[in-house]
């Protein structure tokens, strides 16, 4: 019987996160103050984040120790299994070897707790009593709720009202771990009340939810704010994924030619790919690392590299990123986790330096890939995860076409148990192709008056 | 760092199922023909089940080989992890050691695929093209859909219309694995059409759904029927759970004093407990094995031991079981998998012989146990699974009260990702106590004219 899952023991959970900044030939450009357009230092983040996370945000140390308390909570689901996709290989009749790292085994069903647990820990260490955040579809809010519960901290989640009303089960999941979930805009904040007064029937937006969560953190000494992607420290924490995968492939006496992960803000991709990019930078290997984004939100494949706001309403520092413009509104695809206008700073610089690749997949192709995977491997993937599957299938088909055997690794970042409505839409023929017109991208970019990068 | 999960490798997946009948001091009484009330032989089952499963239903062999093809599919999620519940122990401040076997890691989220895969395999071996079944809440239908998909067989699921309408996501999950799902009663069968003609607005029942699935199998040569609990071969297949748990506890150099599992038809309990009862019978050990049932459906704690029908409309052979009467209608608790009027034949005989124990838990206590578990261990349990947790908590509290350290093992048979509505009801105060009145039980039993057992 062939071994399907390559497992590690809990003692093999990595004890350091990998910081790719140490190895980057061109370091990321600094964030700029939104008003003065001057570079800002770590202090500007102090009202929102604990000092240890701010240090991690700017550190150039190559390795950052993972506290035992964090590894202890990781051990609830980590090390996550690495699967050899025998079923998918057979279905595709490909000479390629396909592996996937399965992050859906976490209690919240995705890779998000990898950073949520770390962030909650450092906040707890610095005496923070309450963490606030925003959530759209709910994966990030669930992860932070889970993490705060473990450290006996309060968690306040501002959930876009549209999601709050339409996805009650993610809200209940957060409640189960003791979090307070507010439909945003809410009466709990100045920002929320103001918007409700003006637009009492609004369904909210991620931008508004961010404003509410940030306001609560900025105006309460015992409260901080947490973000689930984009920032450097979030990417850092996610490197646990790729480090484990590397150990697991070494156990299987294999090494990937291609590493693939879905791309939203970048933490998913960073998590799997950075430890392999390290091998490229350190040892001159030539592992291709591919970010998979939706054609409906193609910042990496069709965006521009310039300074832009991290949020949609222009409150955050200006970040050097591939962006479609912070006012860009992606089509309402089910892969909510990938509907973000920009790419995190590190990943953007890596793409600029051609150290990584990017591809975009249409919504319909993504669901077809998801179904193919569910039927050949047995696991129903989240729509976000299915983007990585679509890229892996394309690469495996190329192998077949050219009669070469490559080793492909992708991040199956989450299961689809909370996404059955999306599959229902697929079966009912409601999933359609979403190609953004060049005019729309140009129009969104034309609105930007943020600094260019030469 | 303390090790939380005790893991086995895929090569340690047991290669035999354990058949407790071989070791039982009193063998189960034979099933009776519903008309003649005479014992029936294996041939009576031939129209519905493949011969290999019928052989397993009646075999007295102690061990039954698990085919490599079945073990290969098991390896998608097996061996399942055994957790030491450090978080729960701390929360309860108990001297007890608590372990749980987590079956929610299967692609369908429960222990059901352990038998679904085996049943699909034997059907495939005998040239069956299509398997039919009924499903209520959907766990069993999902498991059979998953299993049939792997063997390229058709799967037809008759889903009680009430569930079909109210739980669309379980239906979509089955579709994702390629199954056809009919709301029952349906136009696809004679039985369904007849009922629809008479009661066009009926919401269906499990009894009707069984009639439809059985009719399809009985009237098509290439079609068989499958059951997800109660029968001996189903219990046999589930013993993979307890065998793995035994190996895992041996690795931890431990042995349980108490083994606990939720009780619906018996396969969940049998799966975990039978390999430990084997130690009691073979080696004279004294491991307490406790079945956890809901107070709203208390067949083990308040039912009678006599012959009764396995279904609610009196089509099946008469089985010697603890029963509340086949017309007993349990309160609509969320633990749908435990709402069955009778107990499987083997478990009933074991209880009669005082080789196992049974306890009942109120709905409200069960949800409180579920929340306690979710917050201390991180995993949100299915309401069915929370029954076992409630028993484990009671046992651990007894240990604390008497200052003794016992080792407690329970079956966490499934996660609660598809049960968030149940938790929502809990948070909204809609979960109420369900105590069945003695009058109701007596009235239900008074309707029986089936043979008594002395």
Q: Does B146 touch chain A (CB under 8 A)?
A: yes
Residue of A nearest to B378 (CA): A107
A154 contact residues in B (CB cutoff 8 A): none
**Domain extents in chain B:** 5-10+67-109+233-446
| Average pLDDT score over residue span B409-425 | 96
Q: Please tell me which residue, B269 or B207, carries the higher pLDDT value.
A: B269
Q: Which stretch of A376-390, B267-281, B318-332 has the lowest confidence by average pLDDT?
A: B318-332
Distance from CA of A41 to the nearest CA of B (A): 36
**What is the pLDDT, as a whole number, of residue A1?**
80
Check whether A204 has a pLDDT greater than 90. Answer: no
Q: Smallest Cβ distance to B378: which of A2, A107, A175?
A: A107
B415 → chain A, closest CA residue: A107
pLDDT band, very low/low/confident/very high, at A303 (cuts 50, 70, 90): very high
Among the partner-chain residues B71, B76, B377, the one whose CB lies closest to the CB of A1 is B71
d(CA A184, CA A210): 9
Q: Sign of the CA dihedral B340, B341, B344, B348? A: positive
DSSP letter for B436, please. Answer: -
Answer positive or negative: Cα dihedral of A315, A318, A320, A325: positive
Angle between helices A139-150 and A113-125 (to 10 degrees): 40
Q: Say whether A424 and B379 touch across the interface (CB within 8 A).
A: no
Residue of B nearest to A428 (CA): B172
- Residue B166: is its pLDDT beyond 90? no
Residues 209-228 of B with CB under 8 A from A: none
Cα gap A261→B135, rounded to integer Å: 37
Give percent above pLDDT 90 in chain A.
88
Q: Which has the closest alpha carbon to A407: A419, A420, A392?
A: A392
A139-150 and A168-176 are packed helices; what angle lies between their axes, rounded to 10 degrees? Answer: 10
Give yes or no for residue A327 having a pLDDT over 90: no
Predicted confidence at residue B339, as pLDDT, reads 87
The backbone torsions φ and ψ at residue B69, rounded to the nearest 5 degrees and listed phi first, read: -60, -35
Q: What's the mean pLDDT in A417-423? A: 94
For residues A295 and A363, the answer to whether their CB atoms sit within 8 Å is: yes
- B1·A176 Cβ contact <8 A: no
Give the number of other CB atoms < 10 A from CB of residue A196.
Answer: 18
Q: What is the pLDDT of residue A339?
A: 87
Whether B11 contacts chain A with CB within 8 A = yes
pLDDT at position A52: 98
**For B109, nearest residue in chain A (alpha carbons):** A417
Of A9, A10, A176, the CB nearest to B371: A176
Contact A378 B107 (CB under 8 A): yes
pLDDT band at B380 (very low <50, low <70, confident <90, very high): very high
**A204 close to A184: Cβ distance less than 8 angstroms:** yes
pLDDT of residue A147: 98
Does residue A176 contact residue B423 with C-beta atoms inside 8 Å? Answer: yes
Q: Is the predicted pLDDT of residue B312 greater than 80, yes or no? A: no
Q: Which chain B residue has the Cα nearest residue A370?
A: B176
Residue A313 has pLDDT above 80, yes or no: no
Instruction: Pick from A149, A169, A174, A382 the residue to mutate for testing the B interface (most B CBs within 10 Å).
Output: A169
Q: Rg of the Cα trace of chain A?
A: 21
Chain B residues inside the 8 Å CB shell of A146:
378
Q: Which helix (H) or strand (E) holds B157?
A: strand B154-160
- Higher-confidence residue of B315 and A253: namely A253
Interface contact B354, partner A, CB < 8 A: no
Mean pLDDT of B325-334: 87
Q: Which residue in chain B is spatially nearest to A8 when comparing CA positions?
A: B7
Does the predicted TM-score (pTM) go above 0.90? yes
Q: Given pLDDT bands bounded at 50, 70 and 90, which one contains residue B129?
A: very high
Please give the Cα distance from B108 to B110 (Å, whole number): 6
Question: Is the CB of B124 inside 8 Å of chain A's CB atoms?
Answer: no
The pLDDT of residue A250 is 98
CB contact under 8 A, A427 and B175: yes
Mean pLDDT in residue range B295-301:
96
Mark yes or no for CB contact A75/B4 under 8 Å.
Answer: yes
Pick the CATH number of A5-10+67-109+233-446 from 1.10.10.60, 3.40.309.10, 1.20.1090.10, 3.40.50.1100: 3.40.50.1100
Is the per-residue pLDDT at A312 higher than 80? no
Q: Residue A72, by phi and psi: left (phi above 0), alpha (psi -120 to 50) or beta?
A: alpha
- Mean pLDDT in chain A? 95
pLDDT at position B178, please?
A: 97
Contacts of A105 in chain B (CB under 8 A): 105
Q: Considering only CA atoms, which of A387, A386, A406 is closest in space to residue A396?
A: A406
Q: Which residue has the higher pLDDT, B52 or B339?
A: B52
A380 vs A344, A389, A434, B8, CA distance in Å? 28, 11, 23, 24
pLDDT in tens, B369-379: 999 999 999 99
Mean pLDDT value across residues B4-13: 97
Render pLDDT for B20-45 as a digit per residue (tens, 0 to 9). 999 999 999 999 998 999 999 888 89
Read out DSSP for B342-397? B--HHHHHHHHTTSSEEEEE-HHHHHHHHHHHHHHHSPPBPHHHHHHHHHHHHHHH
Test the B interface: residue of A5, A65, A155 with most B CBs within 10 Å: A5
Give the per-residue pLDDT at A207.
82
Which one, of B240, B294, B248, lies nearest residue B267 by Cα?
B240
**What's the confidence (pLDDT) of residue B387?**
98
Give the residue-averaged pLDDT of B277-288. Answer: 97
DSSP-assigned letters across all residues of B306-330: EEEESSSSS-SPEEEEEES-TT---
Give chain A positions within 8 Å (CB) of B3. Answer: 9-11, 75
Residue A42, φ and ψ in degrees, nearest 5: -60, -30
Calpha distance A65→A243 (Å, rounded) = 14
Q: Quick one: average pLDDT of A424-448?
A: 93
Confidence tier at B136 by pLDDT (50, 70, 90): confident
Place of tokens 């219309």: B161
Are A9 and B3 a contacting pair at CB < 8 A? yes
Angle at A361 between CA A355 and CA A365, to 5 degrees: 145
The bridge status of strand A82-84 relative to strand A5-6 is antiparallel
């Amino acid at each position: 019987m062939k071994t399907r899952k390559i497992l590690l023991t809990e003692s093999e959970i990595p004890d350091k996160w990998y910081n790719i900044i140490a190895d980057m030939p061109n370091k990321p450009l600094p964030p700029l103050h939104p008003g003065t357009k001057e570079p800002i230092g770590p202090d500007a983040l102090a009202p929102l984040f604990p000092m240890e996370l701010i240090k991690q945000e700017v550190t150039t140390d190559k390795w950052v120790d993972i506290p035992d308390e964090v590894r202890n909570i990781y051990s609830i689901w980590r090390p996550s299994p690495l699967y050899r996709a025998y079923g998918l290989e057979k279905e595709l009749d490909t000479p390629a070897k396909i592996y996937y790292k399965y992050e859906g085994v976490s209690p919240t069903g995705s890779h998000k707790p990898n950073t949520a647990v770390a962030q909650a820990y450092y906040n707890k260490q610095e005496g923070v009593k309450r963490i606030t955040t925003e959530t759209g579809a709910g994966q990030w809010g669930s992860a932070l709720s889970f993490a705060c519960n473990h450290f006996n901290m309060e968690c306040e989640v501002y959930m876009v009202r549209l999601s709050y009303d339409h996805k009650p089960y993610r809200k209940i999941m957060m409640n189960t771990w003791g979090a307070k979930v507010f439909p945003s805009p809410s009466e709990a904040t100045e920002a929320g009340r103001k918007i409700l007064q003006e637009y009492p029937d609004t369904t909210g937006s991620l931008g508004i939810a961010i404003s509410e969560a940030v306001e609560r953190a900025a105006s309460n000494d015992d409260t901080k704010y947490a973000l689930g992607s984009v920032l450097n420290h979030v990417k850092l924490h996610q490197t646990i994924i790729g480090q484990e995968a590397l150990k697991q492939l070494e156990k299987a006496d294999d090494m990937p030619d291609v590493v693939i992960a879905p791309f939203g803000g970048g933490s998913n991709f960073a998590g799997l790919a950075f430890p392999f990019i390290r091998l490229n930078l350190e040892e001159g290997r030539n592992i291709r690392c591919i970010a998979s984004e939706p054609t409906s939100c193609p910042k990496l494949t069709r965006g521009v590299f310039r300074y832009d706001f991290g949020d949609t309403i222009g409150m955050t520092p200006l970040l050097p990123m591939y962006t479609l413009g912070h006012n860009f509104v992606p089509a309402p695809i089910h892969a909510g986790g990938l509907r973000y206008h920009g790419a995190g700073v590190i990943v953007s610089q890596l793409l600029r330096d051609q150290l990584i690749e990017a591809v975009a997949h249409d919504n319909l192709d993504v669901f077809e890939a998801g179904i193919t995977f569910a039927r050949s491997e047995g696991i129903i993937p989240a729509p976000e995860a299915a983007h990585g599957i679509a890229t892996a299938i394309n690469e495996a088909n190329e192998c077949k076409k050219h009669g070469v055997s490559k080793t492909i690794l992708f991040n199956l970042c989450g299961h689809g148990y909370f996404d059955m409505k999306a599959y229902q839409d697929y079966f009912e023929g409601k999933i359609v192709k979403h190609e953004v017109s060049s005019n729309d991208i140009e129009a969104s970019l034309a609105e930007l008056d943020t600094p260019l990068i030469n």
